[in-house]
Amino acid sequence: MSLLEIKGLTRRFGGLIAVNDFNIELGERELVALIGPNGAGKTTVFNLISGFYQPSEGSIRLKGKDTKGLRPHQVTGLGVARTFQGIRLWSEMHVLDNIRIAQHYRLGYSLVDCFLRTKNYMLREKAIDDIAWELLEAMGLKDCAYELPRNLPYGVQRRVEIARAMSVKPSLLLLDEPAAGLNSADVEGLIKLVRWIHDTFPVTIWMIEHQMKVVMSLCSRIKVVDFGTTIADGNPEEIQKNHAVIKAYLGDDTI
């Protein structure tokens, strides 16, 4: 059974068709990219998967379970984590809290537990803390655990956002333009980080990215969309030679 199976996914906003008949099947531990010109509907696909939008047509199945009608936090509970195009950290809370809060779906204690500080509460909070510290340590963020995200450099904020997504212990990680706004040194770091995550955790990573360097050096499979429609799907070499892709990116006349 595949991890993610999307069939005939379509999303319309009024007259605009943002995503048109999108299909994909992802297995375990894949590293896939979704590329395409601006406004091609890439982020909409991610929003549909994470439950932020409901599809107009088509189905999304996660580990065989249809996600139709689920609210975003429920989808996350099924093991989908994501980052955002513009960084969306909780800016007034320190990094550690950011990572703790993302584990909300497996709190495992009730409000009463929380008031009475029962044994269950203590155990669960400890587990949450342990996971958070482990991740911070592994991702080299231990020193800024008590910093507010807005005081951190942009590149570090990206790392924190990825760490927050990883604290969900996802089986599918969606990265929405992780390299946007990073300088070349940070991009190198990001490539290393993503590769490390892919090697260390049992997770399928699916990223939207414009920087071809990142895409080509990381991904084994690339899907190209334009105007909501898939125009190509294949490994990096195939995509580089694909005429439809070149046309979409560079226009007709250049060739």
Partner 1 sequence: MQKHVATIAIFAGIILLVLCAQFHILDQYYISVLMFMGVNVILASSLNLVNGYMGEFSCGHGGFMCVGAYVSSICTVLMFSKNHILGAPLLPPQFAFIGFPLALVAGSAASSVAGLVVAIPSFKTRGDYLAIITLAANYIVISAINNMEIIGGPRGFMGMSATERAMQSMLDIPWVLIFVLLGTVFTVWLLRRFVSSTLGKGVPAICQDEIAAEIMSVDTNRMKLIAFMLSSGLAGLAGGLYAQVLGYVNPQSFDIMRSTEVMVMVYLGGMGSLSGAAIAAILYTVLMEALRFLDVWKWVVIPLLLILLMQFRPEGIMGNKELSDLFPKLRKYYSFK
Partner 2 sequence: MITGGGPIPEVPARFVLRRGLARTHPRRKAVPRHAARKHHFKAKVPLVEIFQNILNALQFGSFYALIALGYTLVYGVLRLINFAHGDIFMVGAYLAYFVAVTLLGIGGLNLGLHMDPGLALAITVPVTMILTALVGVTLERTAYRPLRRKGADRLYVVITALMAGLVLENGNLALLGASRKRFPDMIDKVIWNLHGVTVTNLKVIVIVASILVFLLLQFIVTKTKIGMAMRGISYDKFAIPLMGIPLDTIIVVTFVLGSAMAGLAGILFAMSYPILEPYMGALIGWKAFIAAVVGGIGDIRGAIVGGFLLGFIEIGVVAVFPSTLRDLFAFSVLLIILWLRPTGIFGVAQTTKI
**Cβ–Cβ contacts within 10 Å for residue 211, how many?**
18
Give dist(CA 26, CA 48) in Å, integer: 16
Q: Residue by residue, what is the 3-state secondary structure of 29-76?
A: CCEEEEECCCCCCHHHHHHHHCCCCCCCEEEEEECCEECCCCCHHHHH
- Tokens encoding 225: 């969309």
Q: What are phi and psi of 35, to 5 degrees?
A: -125, 170
3-state SS, residue 21: strand
Q: How many residues does the chain have?
A: 255
Residue closer to partner 1 by CB (options 68, 73) is: 73
Give dist(CA 170, CA 155) in Å, integer: 22
The residues in 103-142 that bind partner 1, with binding defined as CB under 8 A, are 103-105, 107, 109, 111, 114-115, 117, 121, 125, 128
The residues in 29-58 that bind partner 1, with binding defined as CB under 8 A, are 50-52
**One of 43, 157, 204, 230 touching partner 2 (CB under 8 A):** 43
Nearest approach in angstroms of CB 161 to partner 1 is 9
**One of 68, 88, 119, 126 touching partner 2 (CB under 8 A):** 88
Per-residue DSSP letter, 162:
H
Residue closer to partner 1 by CB (options 128, 215) is: 128
**How many residues form the binding site for partner 2 (CB under 8 A)?**
7
Contact segment (CB under 8 A) with partner 2 among 2-10, 58-66, 85-93, 111-119 equals 85-93
Give dist(CA 62, CA 74) in Å, integer: 12
- 111 touches, from partner 2, partner 1, none (C-beta below 5 to 8 Å by class): partner 1
- 85 touches, from partner 2, partner 1, none (C-beta below 5 to 8 Å by class): partner 2
Residue closer to partner 2 by CB (options 87, 187) is: 87
Give dist(CA 81, CA 169) in Å, integer: 8
- 125 touches, from partner 1, partner 2, none (C-beta below 5 to 8 Å by class): partner 1
**One of 2, 85, 118, 242 touching partner 2 (CB under 8 A):** 85
Nearest approach in angstroms of CB 122 to partner 1 is 11
Per-residue DSSP letter, 106:
G
Give dist(CA 57, CA 201) in Å, integer: 33
**CB contact at 8 A, 116 and 123:** no
Site residues (vs partner 1, CB under 8 A): 50-52, 71-73, 76-77, 81-82, 84, 88-93, 97, 100-105, 107, 109, 111, 114-115, 117, 121, 125, 128, 164-165, 168
- Sites of contact with partner 2 (CB under 8 A): 43, 47, 52, 84-86, 88
